[in-house]
Amino acid sequence: MKTFYDIAKQMLWLAILSFFINSCDSFLEVDLPKSQLTTVTVFEDYATANAALTSIYAKIRDKGLLTGNNIGLSNQLGNYTDEIIPYGTPSNPSLTFYNNSLLAENPDVAQYWNDSYNQIYAANSLIEGIEASTKLSDQNKKQLKGEALFIRALVHFYLVNIFGDVPYITITDYKKNSKVSRMPSSEVYQNIIGDLQSAITLLQKDYSALERIRADKYVARALLARVYLYNESYPEAANEASAILNQTNLFTLENINQVFLVNSKETIWQLQSAEAGQNTQEASTFIFLLGPPALVALNNDLVGSFSVTDLRGSNWIKAVGDGTATWHHAYKYKEKNFTSISKEYSIVFRLAEQYLIRAEARAHQGDLIGAKEDLNQIRNRAGLDDTKAITKEEILDAILNERRWEFFTELGHRFFDLKRFNQINKVLSNSKPGWNTTDHLFPMPQSELSSNPNLGAQNPGY
């Protein structure tokens, strides 16, 4: 009996031990954290693949170049040029932009760079995921890829315009991406055009009947028209603009006070607010109710440049006084606070620009009558008479002025226009004491030059 007892006990020990030892490797297996999915899983299903895409739109809205908060280009390039003056405390990041004294270690500039390439990475990751996916339908694949290509082109477009030569990133491999060199601007433009052309063929779906918050083929063409214009490919620019302008059932110029509303038919693409009832970040950045302004106010030169009859001067600008002094703020977006439903979204492309793109392209091609027609569309909508410009030079000057009045505080149009018209040094050295001729480009972020020697030299002047 005792022997049996001993054997039983020994068997028990053995069982316990083998349990422990067999479980060793499996002991270390852990489940995925609840907030993560493997990359393969994401692209097995349209809903999750779509979520990977919408998050890029949300990133563009909240971070980097196109965001409407005070770090975004609308505000900072307004300060950098002659649209906006900063107020508030010395810690206001707009001050260095206003003084044109950006340094290579400026955190906002580094943020533009890093956020932009992060958005590009997300687009590339999506493109690679879609291409590898076996479960998504062809139609879904086309649509998702088309939108991702548009995003890639869009972000590179802004990068090349503020940093000059930049790398054009089309893959996610960090080993290659960490050693890239700067690509000449002209090549960057070729890549942008290529991506946009692919996007246009892939994007079949038409969002324009809905809230116009995602990229469809018209959005891609709107950017392509602008890209051709910046690239001095005038016939192509005019063509792309016409392709949109001809869709009169979809897009029309709105009454001056309805341009920036959610359901404006002038909108080609806008960024939806994060919450239902939330309005634009631009409104919270620019609008102040009492003086002195908390962040920024409009430059008086700009305010004074509007003709008294210009509806934009009276509707898109608001004066705020404290009894002794008066300040002005941009009033394109009017809702600073939450409303029961969102009234305004952040608009990136609108029809007015397409008119002015075609006007400029036509003027360069010698079609002065056509140019004036397009220009007058915008002037008339603003309550102004037809332009008195006659010669090509006069018309181009008139277009530059018109763009100043039409697009002030909108995503850095003024800065890009002055550069394109070769007027930047002439105009800004008069109005900005800190302006240097090398300021037409931002400095390359210091951290970027340190970590990738292949990027070469800093931009001149920094």
User: Which residues inside 208-227 make contact with other proteins, applying CB under 8 A?
Assistant: 213-214
Map the footprint of other proteins across residues 5-24, applying CB under 8 A. Answer: 6, 9-10, 13-14, 17-18, 20-21, 24
Q: Name which of 181, 187, 183, 189 is nearest 157 in CA terms.
A: 189
With H, G, I as helix, E, B as strand and everything else as coil, classify residue 69.
coil
Which of 1, 19, 27, 249 touches other proteins (CB under 8 A)? 27
Which of 242, 305, 365, 452 touches other proteins (CB under 8 A)? 452
Which of 206, 301, 322, 385 touches other proteins (CB under 8 A)? 322
With H, G, I as helix, E, B as strand and everything else as coil, classify residue 87.
coil
Map the footprint of other proteins across residues 241-280, applying CB under 8 A. Answer: 272, 274-275, 277-278
Which of 290, 319, 341, 390 touches other proteins (CB under 8 A)? 290
Does the footprint of other proteins cover residue 4 (CB under 8 A)? Answer: no
Q: Which C-beta is closer to other proteins: that of 322 or that of 393? A: 322
Q: Name which of 410, 390, 378 is nearest 310 in CA terms.
A: 378
Q: Report how far residue 180's alpha carbon sits from residue 30's, in angstroms, rounded to the nearest whole number.
A: 37
Q: Name which of 381, 173, 362 is nearest 266 in CA terms.
A: 381
Map the footprint of other proteins across residues 368-427, applying CB under 8 A. Answer: none
Which of 73, 109, 120, 411 touches other proteins (CB under 8 A)? 120
Size of the site for other proteins (CB under 8 A): 100
Does the footprint of other proteins cover residue 289 (CB under 8 A)? Answer: yes
CB of 11 to other proteins, least distance (A): 10
Q: Which stretch binds other proteins (CB under 8 A): 32-40, 71-79, 368-376, 395-403?
A: 32-40
Map the footprint of other proteins across residues 85-104, applying CB under 8 A. Answer: 87-90, 95-96, 99-101, 103-104
Does the footprint of other proteins cover residue 32 (CB under 8 A)? Answer: yes
Q: Name which of 408, 389, 407 is nearest 398 in CA terms.
A: 389
Q: Which C-beta is closer to other proteins: that of 304 or that of 433? A: 433
Q: Report how far residue 57's alpha carbon sits from residue 349's, in angstroms, rounded to the nearest whole number.
A: 14
Does the footprint of other proteins cover residue 81 (CB under 8 A)? Answer: no
Does the footprint of other proteins cover residue 455 (CB under 8 A)? Answer: yes
Which of 252, 255, 257, 450 touches other proteins (CB under 8 A)? 450
Read off φ and ψ for residue 377, nearest 5 degrees: -55, -45
CB of 117 to other proteins, least distance (A): 5
Does the footprint of other proteins cover residue 46 (CB under 8 A)? Answer: no
Does the footprint of other proteins cover residue 325 (CB under 8 A)? Answer: yes
Q: What are the C-alpha distances in Å from 237 to residues 6, 144, 294, 360, 431? A: 93, 26, 40, 9, 32
| Per-residue interface string for the shown chain with other proteins, residues 332-361, x marking contact by CB under 8 A | -----xx-----------------------
Map the footprint of other proteins across residues 170-209, applying CB under 8 A. Answer: 172, 174, 177-180
CB of 413 to other proteins, least distance (A): 25
- Structure tokens, 394: 């006069």
- Structure tokens, 141: 């694949």
Q: Report how far residue 28's alpha carbon sits from residue 8's, in angstroms, rounded to the nearest whole number.
A: 31
Q: Report how far residue 343's alpha carbon sits from residue 287's, in angstroms, rounded to the nearest whole number.
A: 16
163 contacts 180 by C-beta, under 8 angstroms: no
Q: Report how far residue 360's alpha carbon sits from residue 433's, in angstroms, rounded to the nearest whole number.
A: 30
Q: Report how far residue 458's alpha carbon sits from residue 462's, in angstroms, rounded to the nearest whole number.
A: 7
Q: Which C-beta is closer to other proteins: that of 122 or that of 399? A: 122
What are the start-end ranges of the H helices in 72-106? 73-80, 94-98
Q: Which stretch binds other proteins (CB under 8 A): 83-91, 231-239, 306-314, 409-417?
A: 83-91
- Structure tokens, 434: 């800190």
120 contacts 113 by C-beta, under 8 angstroms: no
